[in-house]
A and B are shown apart, each in its own frame.
Chain A
Amino acid sequence: MIKIDNINKHYGKNHVLKNTNLDIYSDKVTILSGPNGSGKTTLVKLILGIVFPDNGAIYLDGENINAGVHYKNKIGYMPQMPNFPENLTGNEILNICKKLRNSEVDFTEYIKHFRLENHINKPFKTLSGGNKQKINLIQAFGFNSDYLILDEPTVSLDPVSRLALKELIIKKKNEGKSILIITHILSEIIDIADKLIYLVEGNTLFDGQIHELNTITQSENYDIAISQLTHQYERNI
């Protein structure tokens, strides 16, 4: 489990995360969503150790992440933009990731799953946006990490690949992995999610099971449900 304990983060005068407390459970697919500037990227960067908190702590399986970098072995991260070294091939990029993680995993299964066999040995700069995204997905999924953090994973993917991705997410969930998906577009991924965390201006507006959102707002449409919560929040401040 990832436990976010009373985290605060400022960028200059901008208070991005305000006393945030969250739990991200294992064998669950959790969606982290919110409008631009809500703090979701900062939250993920804090978990990944790319950004440092002003105060508070983050625990991964009970261990404070400040203790060292070894906890990162448990996390597979897929950034939104697959901006990898342009002159290297997909295969070389995946090999770099393997070496940096001291791993001997075999990516063949994933390469086949995403139908990349004919593109994996081409220079990264020559690949289409979709194929670049697939290499991004493989480096995130390929290490069989306990936690997967996926930033807008469906961007640039065609419908077939999107479906393949969803199948993979479900498979990983069934294997007991914890998957955190950051997305703006709830409708594309919410059908496979268990939990939703919705942030607005650094505050947690909603943190619960997907069906609870429908119950609270009495709406079957997720976009309308979120919109209702947001309006309610704006009225209250």
Chain B
Amino acid sequence: MKEIYKIFKYSIADITRSRWLLAYLLFYLAFGLILFYLDNDFGKVLISISNIIIYITPLVSIVYTTIYYYNSQHFIELLLTMPIQRKSIIYGIYFGISLALSLGLMVGINIPILLNLQYVDSISSLVLLNMSGIALTFIFTGISLLIVLKNENRIIGFGLGIVLWLFASVLYDALILSMIILLKDYPLDNMILITTIINPVDLARVSVILNFESAAVLGYTGLVFRNYFSTSLGLIISIVLMLIWTASPILFTKRIFTKKDF
């Protein structure tokens, strides 16, 4: 734990001084301020922000982690020559990136909200919004580390990351919708449910929707999910699934990292 903390500390000190993180923070900050300027309805603002988080957070996590890893490769090799366990290095880097990006996200989102506190009517929605963003950051940082560790070639690593984002955030719902249209004569509810659980972006989207009770951001998969999980049990199940999604990529990453030739 002590070793992980040492790596985490250096990694977060490096990332928090990066212009990328500042740009990320400023993006959410500007977006939030503009939304509140246009409309004072807290619910609507939160839904708009959540929509952006669902698309932008996985993309930024993938792009930033990929760039950070490839740029740090030589330093990681140097760390490997020091008397510290390999798992401490990868966990330290993972937590450093994830927490720095989460920090950028939280500051960016919450400053406009704090400035417009008088319109805030649902703290639980705000907490859930933050949690979804953080969960997506951790999940896609982990997945991205998995991709880059498996691919020495920067272009391939970067390309795979982008394809993954495109698939999870954009194409996935379109594919499911197409399937539903093609197989409309068959009972598909269970299949829809399973396909939603498979995709962490949909899972995050549904978790937020469940809390907002709003149809504005519902994709078809989200609609089916609500029918099944609009209870407190549903919320617990989505949190558990999100935790599984968060833990799995980094556990696989650690496994690869500890056996990898650099």
Residues of A whose CB lies within 8 Å of any CB of B are 11, 45, 48-52, 69-73, 75, 77, 79, 81-88, 92, 96-97, 99-102, 139
B73 pairs with A100, CB closer than 8 A: no
Interface Cβ pair total, 8 Å cutoff: 74
B13 pairs with A49, CB closer than 8 A: no
Give the distance to chain A from B88, nearest Cβ to Cβ, in Å. 9
- In the complex, whether B154 has a CB less than 8 A from a CB of chain A is no
B262 pairs with A50, CB closer than 8 A: yes
Contact of B6 among A70, A77, A99 (CB under 8 A): A99
Complex interface: chain A residues within 8 A of B71 (CB): 83, 86
A48 pairs with B6, CB closer than 8 A: no
A84 pairs with B75, CB closer than 8 A: yes
Give the distance to chain B from A198, nearest Cβ to Cβ, in Å. 24
Complex interface: chain A residues within 8 A of B85 (CB): 69
A85 pairs with B10, CB closer than 8 A: yes
Most A Cβ at <10 Å: residue of B3, B14, B84: B14
Most A Cβ at <10 Å: residue of B72, B75, B78: B78
When C-beta atoms are compared, the residue in chain A nearest to B3 turns out to be: A100
Chain B positions 17-75 with a Cβ under 8 Å from a chain A Cβ: 17-18, 71-75
A79 pairs with B74, CB closer than 8 A: yes
30 contacting pairs across A/B (C-beta < 8 A): A45-B261, A45-B262, A48-B80, A48-B81, A49-B80, A50-B77, A50-B81, A51-B262, A69-B84, A72-B81, A72-B82, A72-B83, A79-B74, A79-B77, A82-B74, A83-B71, A83-B72, A83-B74, A85-B10, A85-B13, A85-B14, A86-B14, A87-B13, A88-B10, A88-B17, A92-B13, A97-B82, A100-B79, A100-B83, A101-B82
B75 pairs with A83, CB closer than 8 A: yes
B261 pairs with A50, CB closer than 8 A: yes
B14 pairs with A88, CB closer than 8 A: yes
Give the distance to chain B from A192, nearest Cβ to Cβ, in Å. 23
Most A Cβ at <10 Å: residue of B7, B18, B80, B84: B80
- In the complex, whether B259 has a CB less than 8 A from a CB of chain A is yes
Give complex CA distance A86, B6 in Å: 18
Q: How large is the interface on B (under 10, 10 to 19, 20 to 34, 35 or more residues)?
A: 20 to 34
**Beyond A45-B261, A81-B74, A83-B73: 13 further Cβ-contacts under 8 Å?**
A50-B77, A50-B81, A50-B261, A50-B262, A83-B75, A85-B14, A87-B15, A87-B17, A87-B18, A88-B13, A96-B6, A97-B82, A102-B83
Give complex CA distance A102, B77 in Å: 19
When C-beta atoms are compared, the residue in chain B nearest to A68 turns out to be: B83
Complex interface: chain B residues within 8 A of A11 (CB): 261
Main secondary structure of the interface of B (DSSP, over half): helix
Residues of B whose CB lies within 8 Å of any CB of A are 3, 6-7, 10-11, 13-15, 17-18, 71-75, 77-85, 259, 261-262
When C-beta atoms are compared, the residue in chain B nearest to A44 turns out to be: B81
Complex interface: chain B residues within 8 A of A87 (CB): 13-15, 17-18
A50 pairs with B13, CB closer than 8 A: no
B82 pairs with A100, CB closer than 8 A: yes
Give complex CA distance A97, B11 in Å: 13
A75 pairs with B81, CB closer than 8 A: yes
Give complex CA distance A101, B18 in Å: 26
Contact of A85 among B72, B81, B83, B259 (CB under 8 A): B72
When C-beta atoms are compared, the residue in chain A nearest to B18 turns out to be: A87
Give complex CA distance A188, B79 in Å: 28
Give the distance to chain A from B250, nearest Cβ to Cβ, in Å. 21
When C-beta atoms are compared, the residue in chain A nearest to B79 turns out to be: A100
Give complex CA distance A100, B78 in Å: 11
Complex interface: chain A residues within 8 A of B7 (CB): 100
10 closest A-B pairs by beta carbon, nearest first, are A83-B74, A87-B17, A85-B14, A72-B83, A77-B81, A51-B261, A48-B81, A50-B262, A96-B10, A100-B82
When C-beta atoms are compared, the residue in chain B nearest to A11 turns out to be: B261
When C-beta atoms are compared, the residue in chain B nearest to A123 turns out to be: B17
Contact of B261 among A52, A71, A88 (CB under 8 A): A52
Give complex CA distance A86, B68 in Å: 11
A69 pairs with B83, CB closer than 8 A: yes
Complex interface: chain B residues within 8 A of A86 (CB): 14, 71
When C-beta atoms are compared, the residue in chain B nearest to A139 turns out to be: B78
Give the distance to chain B from A41, nearest Cβ to Cβ, in Å. 11
